[in-house]
Amino acid sequence: MKTIVITGSASGIGAATAQHYSAAGCRVIGIDLRGADIEADLSCASGRDKAISEVLQRSNGHIDSLICCAGLGGNHPPALVASVNYFGVTVLLDGLFEALRASGGNAVVVASVAATQGNWDGHPLREAFLAGNEEQARTLATDAGHGMLAYAASKHAIVCHIRAQSKIWGEAGVRLNAVAPGAVETPLLQQSMDDPLIGKATRDFLPPLGRRAQPAEIAQVIAFLASDAAVYVHGSLLVADGGIDAMSRPQRF
């Protein structure tokens, strides 16, 4: 039986992914703030340590897939967004790497189409993320103002991190990929729709496909990347956004 570890398993895309794997007869170990097998706060070092040690204990050090879904939208305090969306992912990837290697496993990180928008080249916030400097990233994220900037920067940086890890992880036989959803009907999107600053724009916007995604539709993309059908896919960002990225920058990819 395969062991699948899913962060953010209590809601939205993470819950749909947990459902997908449970229905397929896999053993799911969910991590979330509440309502999960392991209740841990991925915004801080002690919570990440707790999550890693409990996963290693429950899995006997063998994991087939790690799916990182936990995340916060841009309506949350920017420093918190930086901590959860970037360091809550990289620390888990590092901490569970050996357990993935032991099974010839793989990891999939849920980024966002926001990762592909804007130009972050040389931006101090991106550099702080990539340097692994959480304190500086939190300060710069706060200085940037609205949490949407921290959100986009954290998602862009996590994709950069995955690409930078592709050699080490590939040589270890552990595939590492990311998914970039667009607008998915979850509590996170609803919070953005209710936000006084970005709510109207979020509500009014529809992707080229003419509708927002359902969480289960993104779970299927995640499951594909984690499956043997994607055995040669590594270091990739799979955009599953109903056409938002293609529409917004048709000549850049």
Check: CB of residue 54 under 8 Å from CB of residue 38.
Answer: yes
| 127 Cβ contact partners less than 8 Å away, ≥ 6 residues apart | none
Q: State both tokens at 198.
A: 């970005």
Q: State both tokens at 33.
A: 């703030």
Among the residue ranges 97-105, 137-145, 162-170, 183-191, the one whose residues contact ligand NAD (CB under 6 A):
183-191
Member of 144, 148, 188, 237 binding ligand NAD (CB under 6 A): 188
Member of 52, 174, 189, 238 binding ligand NAD (CB under 6 A): 189
Among the residue ranges 4-12, 90-98, 129-137, 227-235, the one whose residues contact ligand NAD (CB under 6 A):
4-12
Question: What is the amino acid identity at position 204?
Answer: D
The verdict on 112 binding ligand NAD (CB under 6 A) reads yes
Cα torsion 160, 109, 229, 37 to 10°: value is: 160
Q: State both tokens at 179.
A: 């998914």
Member of 96, 110, 125, 157 binding ligand NAD (CB under 6 A): 110
From the list 75, 60, 241, the residue with the least C-alpha distance to 145 is: 75
d(CA 189, CA 195): 10
The verdict on 70 binding ligand NAD (CB under 6 A) reads yes
The single-letter DSSP state of residue 117 is: S
Among the residue ranges 92-100, 124-132, 178-186, 223-231, the one whose residues contact ligand NAD (CB under 6 A):
178-186
Residues 197-236 close enough to bind ligand NAD by CB under 6 A: none
* Contact residues: ligand NAD, CB under 6 A: 8, 10-14, 32-33, 41-43, 69-72, 84, 110, 112, 181, 183-184, 186-189
Instruction: Please list the active-site residues.
Output: 151
